[in-house]
Chains A and B, each alone.
Chain A
Amino acid sequence: MKTSAVFSAVLSLLSLASADSSSDKGSSQTILSTAFKPGPVFKNTNLVHIVSLEKNYVKETINVAIENIAKKAQDAYYLPFTADQISRLGGVEVKDRKDTSGAPFTAEVVELNPESDIQYLRIKLPKPLAPGASQTLGINYYLLKAYSPLPAAIKQEEAQFLTYTFSAYVPSVYTTLKQKTEVKFSSANIPDYTKLPGTGDVKEFPQKQGTKLTYGPFDEKPAGAYEPITVRFEFNKPVTHMSRLERDIEVSHWGGNVAFEDRFTLYHLGANLSSLFNRVKWQQAQYYKAPTHALKELRFPLRPGSADPYYTDVIGNVSTSKFRANDKEALLDIKPRYPLFGGWKYPFTIGWNSDAKNFLRKTAAGGYVLNVPFLEGPKQPEGVEYEQVELRVILPEGAENVKYTTSIPSQSITSADVVIHKTFLDTIGRTALVIKARNLVDDFRDRELIVSYDYPLSAALRKPVIIFGSLVAVFVGAWVIGNIKLEFATSPSKK
C-alpha cells in the first residue's frame, strides 16, 4: 500500500516535471475535432527546401519566412504530411532562423480525422505572431524507410541504386510566393531524375552541380500544390535500419557502476540479392576491397571509461569484435556473423560497464543526477535509423522522486513511465524509468538524458539488512530443525 502511494506520488511528480520539458508524453498525437482545417492565415514569402539523401534516411530542412495575413495574432503554423509519412516522421525540430539561441519550438502531430490521408504537424510559435508581422522558421525533420531500391534485386557485386519520391513544391496549407528545392546526394551518379520545365532564364529544372540537384526557384504556388519528383541515385552502402532498439541503463550505487545494454534488431533495407550469396565472389571482393552494399562492420564509439564490453546474439557470444579503450576513447568494432545483404536481418546485443562517477552526480540537496546518452548506437558514415526505441533507466531499489529531461525532440518521444523492475534479490523492486521513442536517427547520438532522483540511506541499507536477516533466519531454522528428535521413545521408563 505504502509503496504504491509512493509511486503514484512519483508519477504525479513526473508528469509535472515532464510538462516543462516536453508538452505531452502520453501520446505525441493530439486529436482535434474533425471540423478543423487550418485556415489561410499565413503566407510563405520565401521558402528553401533541402532534401538530403546522403544517408540511409531522408533529412529534410525547410527554411521558410512566414507572414501573418490574418486579422488576428496567430500562434500555430501547420505543415501537412500524408498518414504514411507521419508514421515514419521523426526528430522534428523547429527553430527561429533569426534567433538560434532560443529553445526549439514545440512541434506535434495533430490528427484531424483518423481516416483522412492528410495529417498535420502543428508548430507552436512561442509568441503569437501579430497580424502583418513575419518570422523565419527552420524546420528540420527526418523520414525513415524512405527509399525503395531499383532494381529491387541485384547481384552481389553490382552497385545498389535507390529511388525517392517527393514533391517539387513543399506541400503547404498556405500560399507560397517563392520557393526552391535542393536535393543532396552522397554520390554524383544520379542516372534518373524527373525533369520539370524551367522558369525564367532556366530552361529546364533541375540544375545539377556535382552531387546536388536544384529545382527552382519557382514562382507563386497555391496551397496544396504538388508536383511529384522521383530521383534514382547510386547508394552503394548498406541501408541500415534498426526496427527496434531496447536500451537498458542500470545504475548501481553499491557497485558504483552504470551498466549499459543495447539490444538491436537490425535489418538491411537495400536491394535483395538476385542470385543467392556466393562465398567465392565475396572472398574475392574482400581481397580487392571492392565497394559493396553489404553491411560488414559496425563501429560504436562509446564514452571514455567504458569497460567489459560484450557482443552476443540469440545463440551466444560473437567472437568477431574488437575493443580499443584508453583514457580518451573506447571504440567497439563489431562484425555481424555474416555480411548483411538487402532483406537480411541480424538481431544482436551489446553491453558494457562504466564507472558511476562518469555519469552520476550528487546534488547539494542530497538527490542524485544521472546524465547519460539517450542513444549510443553505431556511428556509420551512411547513417543508422531507429524505428522504435525503448529506453529503460533502472535506478536503485527505493529511488523516488524521479524526474527527467532530454534534448531528444519531443515529437519523437511517445511515452514515459515509471515502473517497477524486480531483479537481483529485490524485495520491493527497482524504480525504472521507461521512455519510448520512435523514428530517431544517429544524428541524435550525442543527445543526453538527465534523470534526477532521491535515494535515501534507508533504501540503500535495505538490501544488506534483508540478506543478512534472511541468512540468519535460515541458520536459525536449520538449527531448530536439527534439534528436533524424530524417533519413537524406546521405552517409557527412560523418560
Chain B
Amino acid sequence: MSAEPIQALVDVGKGKTTRGVLRVIILALIAGASIASRLFSVIRFESIIHEFDPWFNFRATKYLVANGFYNFWDWFDDRTWHPLGRVTGGTLYPGLMVTSGAIYHALRTLTIPVDIRNVCVLLAPGFSGLTAIAAYLLTNEMTVHNSAGLLAAIFMGIAPGYISRSVAGSYDNEAIAIFLLVFTFYLWIKALKQGSMLWGALCALFYGYMVASWGGYAFITCLLPLHAFVLICMGRYSTRLYVSYTTWYALGTLASMQIPFVGFLPVKTSEHMPALGIFGFLQLLAFLDYVRSAIPSRQFQTFLWLFAGGTFAIGLAGLVVATSAGIIAPWSGRFYSLWDTGYAKIHIPIIASVSEHQPTAWPAFFFDLNMLVYLFPVGVYLCFQKLHDEHVFIIVYAVFGSYFAGVMVRLMLTLTPVVCIAGAIAVSSLLDTYLDARSPKPEEQVAESSEKKAPKSGLKSTDKPLVGIYGLWSKSAVVAAMGVYLLLFVMHCTWVTSNAYSSPSVVLASRMPDGSQHIIDDYREAYQWLRQNTKEDAKVMSWWDYGYQIGGMADRPTLVDNNTWNNTHIATVGKAMSSREEVSYPIMRQHEVDYVLVVFGGLLGYSGDDINKFLWMVRIAEGIWPDEVSERAFFTPRGEYKVDAEATETMKNSLMYKMSYYNFNNLFPPGQAIDRMRQARLPEVGPTLSTMEEAFTSENWIIRIYKVKDLDNLGRDHISAAAFDRGLKKKRAPKKKGPRVLRVD
C-alpha cells in the first residue's frame, strides 16, 4: 500500500525523459543561482558600472549604440590621450560591446524599453549562467555520468575565482570571455572526439568570437596546439585530430585576423607560433602517414628520422632568422612577465603597478576556490585513470592553467574552469561510489577473484577491479561529510562574493551610528561637478587609474587613461605630479591642462588614494627621465616614505603632495592636522600653491580638483605673483627696521 508511492518516487529518476526534464530544470536553476549570486552590488547599491575598465567599455558601448557599428569600427577618440587621441575602434576588442549592443537592439525591437546601462550591468551575470551550462557540456564529454556535469555547472556558477570578474556591473571583457573559453574548449573536444569538420568549424567560430572579446584568447591559441602536440607525442595521431585541428586553425586564424586590433599578429608574433607550428607538423604527419602506406617499413624508419630532423632544424632556423630579422615579433613584455615575475618590476613598471598583475599569493587560491583546491588534483588523477584524448586535454589545461594562475592574480580566472571540472569529476565519482544504495553482489566478488587469478593480463590501471562499498554506515558517513563540505563551499562562495567582490569601488558604503547605511559618493559628486560646471573640452589631468572614469562619468578629455598604450605620456603625467611647480607648470601648459584631479584619502582614511600610489608615478617618470626624477629623493634618509614634518623637501615640493594637502590644515585647529590614512601629523603650515587654484573638493575630500591658472596678466611668473599677493602685508614689517636704501638692480 505504502510501497506504491515510494516506488513511484524511486521511478521518477529512471525514465529517460524524466531525467532529461530534471536535468534541464536543474541546469536552469543553476544558471539562475549563478546569476542571482552576482547581484549583491545591485541590491546593496544600485545598477552601476564598477571600477575602472568597465567604464570605458560602457562608454564604448554607448558610442556603438548611438553611432552604429561602422562608425564604432572607425572611431577615433580625441577625448582621451590628449593631445594624441586614440584610434579606439582599432585598438579594442569589440566583442563585448557588440554583444551588449545586439542584446540592446533585440530588446528594443521587442519594444522593451531597456536602458543600455542595465544591459551592460547585467551582461556578466547573464553570461555566467551560460558559462555554467558550457561547463556542464564540457564535463559531460569527460565522463559518462551527467552528475559530474551538473556539479561542474554549479561549481562554475558560484566559484569566487570566476565571480570576482563577473559580478553585476563588472562590465569587462572577461564577462563574456570565460563563457567563450569554456564553450570553445567544449567544441574542440567535440570536434576531436568525432573528427568532425562541422564541430571544428563551430569551434573556430567561437574562437573568433573569443578573439574579438578578450586578449586572453592567446590562452586558447596556445592550449589547443599544446594538447595536439601532447597527443602526437603520446602516439595518438589520428585523422580525427588532423581534421579537427586543421579546420580549427585555418578558419580560426582567418576569423581572428578580421579583428583590426589583432590583424596580422597570428602570423607575426611568437605567441601564435606554436599553433602555426603544430599546424605544419600535422601536415607533415599526414604526409608521413601517406608515405608509410606507400613504402616498406625499414626504409620508412630512415626516411622518418631524416625527414623529421631536417624539418625541425629548418623550422627552428627559420623561426630564429625571422625573429632576428624582425619579421616575427619577439615575445611582448607582458609575456615575458609570465616567465619571470620580476621582469615587469624592472623593465615595465606600468605593468607591475597594477595590483592584478602581481604574482598570486597562496591564500588567494583557497580564497577563490575553497575546497576545489584539494579536489582539483583528485580530478586530474581520475583523468589519468581513463586517459582518453579529452582527459589529456584536462591534464594539459590543468598544468598550464595552474602555472599561469601562480604567476599573475588575474589569470586565476582561466584556471577556475578546469578546477571546477576536475573537482566535479572527483566529487561525482566519490558520490557515485558511495551513493549507490545496493551492496555489491557476491557474483561480482567471484568475478573479482577470478580476475585476480590473471593479474598480469594488462596494465594495472586498465584492470579496473570491481570495487564496492558494503557498509551502510560508511556510505552515509562519507556522503554526509561530502554534503557538509559542499554546504561549506556554498557558504564560503556566498561570503566571498558578498564581502570581497561586490563593491563597485565608485561608491563606498559605511555605517551610520544607528546602523543605517551611509553612502560615500565623492567620486560621482566630483565627476558630476566636472561634467556640469566646466567647459565641454576642458582637459583634465589625473593619474591614469581615473582616466576611464573621468571619460565615462565626467565626459571630459583626459591626458592618460587605463589603456596605458603610451608609456611616455603616462611618465609625463607622472613627472608633472612628482616635480616642483616650476617644472610642472610648463608641462601642464604644453598639454593644455585645465584641471588637475587628485584622489586624497587623508580625511576619511581611504587607502586607494594618490599619495599611496605616488611612488609608482615617481618610478614610471624616473624610467623616462632618470636625471630629473629620482625615487630616492622621496624617501627620508632613513629610508621611510613620510608625509609629515619629516618628509623630504622633494616630497613636500612635489605637486602631488601640495595638491593633496593644500588647505587641509585649515580644517583642524592649528597644528592638529592629521592624515588619517597614514596616521601622520602634518606640519603646522600647509603647502602653498601658486600656479593653480583649488576648484572643487568633494564632501569627504576624496576628490580634489585644481584649476591650472592662466598666464599672469602682468607677465610675472606665478611664484612671484603669488608671493606678491600673499606678501603685501608681511613686507611692511621689515621696512621699519632700517633707513630706506635706494635699490639699484
Q: Which A positions have Cβ atoms within 8 angstroms of B?
A: 275-280, 283, 313-320, 337-338, 343-347, 422-427
Which A residues are in CB contact (< 8 Å) with B695?
276-277
Chain A residue with minimal CB distance to B707? A276
Which B residues are in CB contact (< 8 Å) with A422?
111
Q: Is B270 an interface residue (CB 8 A)?
A: no
Q: Are the C-beta atoms of A317 and B663 separated by less than 8 Å?
A: no
Which B residues are in CB contact (< 8 Å) with A345?
532-533
Closest chain-B Cβ to A343's Cβ sits at a distance in Å of: 8
Which B residues are in CB contact (< 8 Å) with A314?
528, 531
- Cα separation A225 to B405 with both chains bound (whole Å): 87
Q: Interface majority SS on B: helix, strand, loop or mixed?
A: mixed
Q: Are the C-beta atoms of A280 and B666 separated by less than 8 Å?
A: yes
- Other A-B pairs, 19, CB within 8 Å; known A276-B693, A315-B553, A338-B525: A276-B696, A279-B698, A279-B699, A279-B701, A280-B666, A280-B667, A313-B528, A314-B528, A314-B531, A315-B531, A316-B524, A317-B45, A317-B48, A337-B529, A343-B533, A346-B528, A424-B112, A425-B110, A425-B112
Which B residues are in CB contact (< 8 Å) with A343?
533
Which A residues are in CB contact (< 8 Å) with B507?
319
Closest chain-A Cβ to B359's Cβ sits at a distance in Å of: 35
- Cα separation A314 to B524 with both chains bound (whole Å): 10
List B residues 32-58 near A (Cβ within 8 Å): 45-48
Per-position 1/0 for B687-715, Cβ under 8 A of A: 00000011111110100000100000000
Q: Are the C-beta atoms of A347 and B524 separated by less than 8 Å?
A: no
- Cα separation A422 to B112 with both chains bound (whole Å): 9
Known: A276-B707, A277-B695, A424-B111. A317 touches B528 (CB 8 A): no
Which listed residue, B521, B697, B698, touches A319 by the CB 8 Å rule?
B521
Which B residues are in CB contact (< 8 Å) with A276?
693-696, 707
Which A residues are in CB contact (< 8 Å) with B532?
344-347
Known: A276-B707, A345-B533. A337 touches B666 (CB 8 A): no
Q: Is B548 an interface residue (CB 8 A)?
A: no
Closest 3 CB pairs of A and B: A279-B697, A319-B519, A317-B46
Q: Is B527 an interface residue (CB 8 A)?
A: yes
Q: Is B113 an interface residue (CB 8 A)?
A: yes
Which B residues are in CB contact (< 8 Å) with A426?
111
Which B residues are in CB contact (< 8 Å) with A313?
528
List B residues 383-412 near A (Cβ within 8 Å): none
Per-position 1/0 for B346-376, Cβ under 8 A of A: 0000000000000000000000000000000
Closest chain-A Cβ to B156's Cβ sits at a distance in Å of: 27
Which listed residue, A278, A279, A280, A315, touches B524 by the CB 8 Å rule?
A315
**Residues of B in contact with A, size category:** 20 to 34
Per-position 1/0 for B125-153, Cβ under 8 A of A: 00000000000000000000000000000
Known: A313-B528, A337-B521, A344-B532. A277 touches B697 (CB 8 A): yes
Which A residues are in CB contact (< 8 Å) with B553?
315
- Cα separation A106 to B12 with both chains bound (whole Å): 79
Q: Are the C-beta atoms of A277 and B48 separated by less than 8 Å?
A: no
Which B residues are in CB contact (< 8 Å) with A316?
46-48, 524
- Cα separation A345 to B531 with both chains bound (whole Å): 9
Closest chain-B Cβ to A28's Cβ sits at a distance in Å of: 31
Q: Interface majority SS on A: helix, strand, loop or mixed?
A: loop
Closest chain-B Cβ to A44's Cβ sits at a distance in Å of: 47
Which B residues are in CB contact (< 8 Å) with A280?
663, 666-667
Chain A residue with minimal CB distance to B522? A337
Chain B residue with minimal CB distance to A277? B696
- Cα separation A424 to B108 with both chains bound (whole Å): 9
Chain A residue with minimal CB distance to B663? A280
Which B residues are in CB contact (< 8 Å) with A278?
663, 694, 697
Closest chain-A Cβ to B380's Cβ sits at a distance in Å of: 37
Which B residues are in CB contact (< 8 Å) with A283?
667
Which B residues are in CB contact (< 8 Å) with A425?
110-112
- Cα separation A243 to B628 with both chains bound (whole Å): 51
Which A residues are in CB contact (< 8 Å) with B666?
280
Chain A residue with minimal CB distance to B532? A345
- Cα separation A315 to B524 with both chains bound (whole Å): 7
Per-position 1/0 for B653-673, Cβ under 8 A of A: 000000000010011000000
Closest chain-A Cβ to B65's Cβ sits at a distance in Å of: 16
Which B residues are in CB contact (< 8 Å) with A275?
693
- Cα separation A319 to B507 with both chains bound (whole Å): 10
- Cα separation A415 to B669 with both chains bound (whole Å): 60
Closest chain-B Cβ to A288's Cβ sits at a distance in Å of: 15
- Cα separation A318 to B520 with both chains bound (whole Å): 10
Which listed residue, A277, A337, A423, touches B111 by the CB 8 Å rule?
A423
Per-position 1/0 for B502-536, Cβ under 8 A of A: 00000100000000000101001101110111000
- Cα separation A91 to B552 with both chains bound (whole Å): 40
Which B residues are in CB contact (< 8 Å) with A423?
111, 113
Q: Are the C-beta atoms of B694 and A315 separated by less than 8 Å?
A: no
- Cα separation A427 to B112 with both chains bound (whole Å): 11
- Cα separation A317 to B532 with both chains bound (whole Å): 16
User: Can you identify 21 A-B contacts, CB atoms within 8 angstroms?
Assistant: A275-B693, A276-B694, A276-B707, A277-B695, A277-B696, A278-B694, A279-B696, A279-B701, A280-B667, A283-B667, A315-B524, A315-B527, A315-B528, A317-B46, A320-B521, A337-B525, A338-B698, A345-B532, A346-B532, A424-B113, A427-B111
List B residues 98-139 near A (Cβ within 8 Å): 110-113
Chain A residue with minimal CB distance to B704? A279
Most chain-B CB neighbours within 10 Å: which of A277, A279, A319, A345?
A279
- Cα separation A427 to B47 with both chains bound (whole Å): 29
Which listed residue, B45, B693, B696, touches A338 by the CB 8 Å rule?
B696
Closest chain-A Cβ to B220's Cβ sits at a distance in Å of: 29
Known: A276-B695, A278-B694. A338 touches B111 (CB 8 A): no
